[in-house]
Copies of this chain bind each other. A is one copy, B any other.
Amino acid sequence: MEPSTATTRERLLEAASELFAHRGFRGASARAISAQAGANAAAISYHFRGKRGLYEAVLTHAPPGQPGCIGATESVDRPADPASRRLRVFIHGWLSRLRGNGFDAWQAQVAARELVEPVGGLSHEAQDAALRPLVQLETLVRGILPHASDEAVRYSVLSIAGQCLFYFNCRTIIHRLNPSHRMAREEVMLTADHIARFSMAGMTIAACQRNSDDRGRSVGNLR
């Protein structure tokens, strides 16, 4: 419990990001956070006006010297690369954070949880921070499908995000499905490759089919 060198505020942010990432908003008690930070429980209310304020701060905090935030990768802004490659880099970056350790990773994991199970009453800033990866994905997908409808782009964005976010939680699941499987260090890269390839094919092919489809009939045929 040595206060170490960092500010209490910073230690609280660090501890909170880790515990929020691992246990969720409700599961991480303010007492546990302050204990892990080596601080008094009241310090959370003092510095962040309560547990929710701390949660928002974790979502919106940009470490000093780092330009972007949660899902920030340069890939989005380097249009020189081919679109498919930029998508793969983005996915790999996101997946790395969703599986990694350290403040950036935990922050991304908190944002991922926030997407799936939102905590009520957050500031718009915090909500936007959680949505940032999706917005960036939208830009990337729009670059890949320049002529697609907004709806088609949105569908693809959700498909890609769904895969990435699910892989965030799939450690447990894979282990249950195949207990003999050992999660390798390079697993993240293989997974990113898979999602990128899978999604590139899905987007491009499906977009063609969608355009030439008689949508009503296919839906009607379902039953």
Chain A contact residues, CB within 8 Å of chain B: 24, 26-27, 88-89, 92, 115-118, 127, 131, 134-135, 138, 150, 154-156, 158-159, 161-167, 169-170, 172-174, 176-178, 186, 189-195, 197-206, 209-210, 215, 218-219, 222
- Other CB < 8 Å A-B pairs besides A156-B198, A197-B209, A201-B202, 6 of them? A127-B176, A135-B177, A162-B164, A162-B167, A193-B219, A201-B209
**Secondary structure at chain A's binding surface: helix, strand, loop or mixed?**
helix
Q: A166-B158, A177-B134 are in contact. Are A205 and B210 (CB under 8 A)?
A: no
Give the residues in chain B near A176, CB-CB below 8 Å.
127, 131
Give Cα distance in the complex from A188 to B84, angstroms: 29
Q: Jot down 13 A-B pairs with beta carbons below 8 A, ordered by A.
A: A88-B222, A89-B222, A154-B174, A158-B166, A158-B174, A159-B163, A159-B195, A159-B198, A161-B166, A162-B166, A190-B215, A193-B215, A194-B206
Q: Are A205's CB and B206's CB within 8 A?
A: no
